[in-house]
Amino acid sequence: MDPMPKIVGAVKTRTFKKGVHPTDYKAFTNAEKIEYPPLPDNVFIPLQQHIGEPGRPLVSPGDEVKTGQCVGRSDKYVSSPVHASVTGKVKAITTLPHPVGARAQMVHIQRTGEDEWDLLPVPEDWRTEPLENLRELVQEAGIVGLGGAAFPTHVKLSPPADKAIDAFILNGCECEPYLTADHRAMVELAEKILTGMGILMRVLGVEKGYIGIETNKPDAIEAMRACCTRIGLDVPVIPLQTKYPQGAEKMLIQAVLDRKVPAGGLPMDVGVIVNNVGTALAVTEAVTEGKSLVQRIVTVTGNGINTPKNVMARIGSPFSHLVDCCDGLKEETSQVFMGGPMMGIAQFDLAVPVIKATSGIICTTDSISEKGKTLPCIRCGSCISACSMNLLPTRLARLTEMKQLEAAGELGIDHCIECGSCAFVCPSQIPLVQWIRVGKYRLSQLN
């Protein structure tokens, strides 16, 4: 295994094989500074905002809570506590629509004033603090992967003893169209992000770090390089070709280190841990300021919102609060998504709350979002050419439709990362990812 990345020519930027080139629509917000909107009057904190076990409520109606106070947790290791994002009174523990679908238990808090913080105890110097304390702090702060996966970070920071980790990659790709939250964070908050990267690398005992950023963010590449020089951090900032899904972990590792994660494997199988820039920012705020994860940067954008912005949103804010902060929806708006258009989830109710995985709220009119009618497959093979996981999307969708799930399993349906590239290129508008998601779910029920 070669720890140093291969140089792929002086002009060509690095990338992975296959993938697609959707219009990026980032110009709506890529020059918009992060704004701090007024605090919401009410927040709704879902007890499940992460991969793993949902929390159980630790508070009851009538309890007074401070910003940062833990209001829900599970005893299971693969889980993450959730915290009050405003100072106020618990109104109810209730079941409401969740932005990833269905309804879920949430803690409703009515704000009573400005922030009074319930801070975590922080070390005097993270550079000398025992590693276990830092891991525990990351866990207590409720930090999960903010790139969209929402996998608990403390679990990622504890790889099994037989996995030798020798490289850390900071993921600054943000390859989904429209989203610019990570981009703005790198331009405006580079030092905090790099501090978080230093903390994560120390906890993992890794000396080699890399920062991967797509070439459509030249100011972010410049800002991160300048900050590395200023603070004396010897980490290469690697420009990556702007191509979707460049920010998916497996593609990022291939592009940066020329290592291939085996089918069904994890980055740690090739000695790598990847974290998103937003996660690194949250780690700094927890370890140096004692702040649990109660806010994140959200891009509110699209041709369906009056004033597109990047906002620092409190977790639990209703989407409608952020939409109002952006001067509301246009009359002709027909779709709202959480996340980008490739992997995002359509929303039908603006009362749903911002969760830790809410990277963006995309509001579009038909002029951008309308897709044509679904037509029969013309066997053009475009979906196969686009799939960076080397799957046969058309076959997997068809096998799911015919309920031949074991055959779909043999063809690797579980290796699909649900990036949406196949559906994006399909001239027949076949909802390939939806079929594959259904197939994965049904197969998991069989096993």
Sites of contact with ligand SF4 (CB under 6 A) = 377-383, 386-387, 389, 391, 393-394, 416-422, 425-428, 430, 432-433, 436
d(CA 1, CA 40): 50
CB of 123 to ligand SF4, least distance (A): 41
CB of 245 to ligand SF4, least distance (A): 7
CB nearer to ligand SF4: give 31 or 378: 378
CB of 435 to ligand SF4, least distance (A): 10
What lies within 8 Å, CB to CB, of 405 at 6+ separation is: 399, 413, 439, 442, 443, 446
CB nearer to ligand SF4: give 210 or 435: 435
CB of 386 to ligand SF4, least distance (A): 6
* Residue positions counted in the chain: 447
Burial class (CB within 10 angstroms; exposed 0-12, middle 13-18, buried 19+) of 212 = buried
CB nearer to ligand SF4: give 6 or 21: 21
Q: Which helix (H) or strand (E) holds 299?
A: strand 295-301
CB of 389 to ligand SF4, least distance (A): 4
Name the DSSP class of 201. H
As beta bridge partners, residue 300 has 309, 361
CB of 246 to ligand SF4, least distance (A): 13
CB of 257 to ligand SF4, least distance (A): 20
CB nearer to ligand SF4: give 283 or 416: 416
CB of 442 to ligand SF4, least distance (A): 16
Q: Which two tokens stand for residue 268?
A: 């740690």
Q: Which helix (H) or strand (E) holds 210?
A: strand 208-214
CB nearer to ligand SF4: give 213 or 391: 391
CB nearer to ligand SF4: give 59 or 433: 433
Burial class (CB within 10 angstroms; exposed 0-12, middle 13-18, buried 19+) of 319 = buried
Q: Which two tokens stand for residue 255?
A: 């592009």
Q: How far is CA 45 from CA 99, 320, 394, in A?
A: 12, 15, 39
As beta bridge partners, residue 346 has 337
User: Which of these, 264, 269, 221, 227, lies nearest to 242 by C-alpha position?
Assistant: 221
CB nearer to ligand SF4: give 98 or 440: 440
CB nearer to ligand SF4: give 22 or 198: 22
As beta bridge partners, residue 135 has none
Spacing of C-alpha 192 from chain mean position: 18
d(CA 277, CA 279): 5
CB of 85 to ligand SF4, least distance (A): 33
Name the DSSP class of 267. G
CB of 380 to ligand SF4, least distance (A): 4
CB nearer to ligand SF4: give 118 or 176: 176
What lies within 8 Å, CB to CB, of 170 at 6+ separation is: 193, 197, 209, 210, 211, 212, 235, 274, 275, 276, 277, 280
List the end-to-end C-alpha distance of the chain, in Å, as a whole number: 34
CB nearer to ligand SF4: give 112 or 390: 390
CB of 398 to ligand SF4, least distance (A): 8
Helix, strand, coil shares, percent, the chain, to 5: 30, 20, 50
CB nearer to ligand SF4: give 94 or 444: 444
User: Which of these, 69, 45, 82, lies nearest to 117 by C-alpha position?
Assistant: 69
Please report which residue ranges of 375-431 form alpha helices under DSSP H: 382-386, 393-401, 405-410, 421-425
CB of 254 to ligand SF4, least distance (A): 14
CB nearer to ligand SF4: give 319 or 424: 424
Q: Which two tokens stand for residue 368?
A: 């951008």
